[in-house]
A and B are shown apart, each in its own frame.
Chain A
């Protein structure tokens, strides 16, 4: 299992801030597509992804226990 974290608008749209999914072996891009479809989220095109608190590529293959965070464009400051 992997843990998926959602923030900001994605969190509001999905109605949850985290979920657990069985997608070990999938790429980040595949997780993104699944999430987009499953939760009817707004486009994730501009959303960056972090694996275990570091920015990751779309081609990264998810491993057991990974924490995948979807990072919408940031607006701190």
Chain B
């Protein structure tokens, strides 16, 4: 299935996403690969779990695609986001943008990632040595204000 916007529960392939946007009339393809980071402000992540409201998430990714095409005419964008349990350094998201000239490819790619963090219904749960928490902030810095970490939950 060659759809430009996808959510999948299996490992992501950069080449597959790039292939979706490769066009003869484009001179640039920018790619962004979001990976699972082990240390955040000194705290060690063991693994992550991503959950999505899949049909709506795909709709919102499509909306981002429309916004990108309006802002950077001639561009083509593809985004695939992973869900399920991910280990450190695994790929969580891939964005590929092709454009006639490179500047737009860089700009559109960054724009798309920012928008993902604003409107796409996907959530990540951090698993630490001493507990777990659903992260609820677009800047990945603070959890929900009223969130209660499940401090006694055992990690795998």
Contacts and interface: CB of A to CB of B under 8 A. Distances in A.
Nearest to B142: A73
Interface residues of A, number: 21
A53 interface: yes
Tell me what chain B mostly uses at the interface: helix, strand, loop, or mixed. mixed
Interface stretch (B9-17, B23-31, B49-57): B49-57
Interface size range of chain B in the complex: 35 or more
Interface stretch (B69-77, B98-106, B113-121): B113-121
A32 to B, nearest CB: 14
A76 B52 contact: yes
A11 B52 CA distance: 12
Contacts of B93: 76-77
Interface of A: 5, 7-9, 11-12, 42-43, 46, 50, 53-55, 69, 71-77
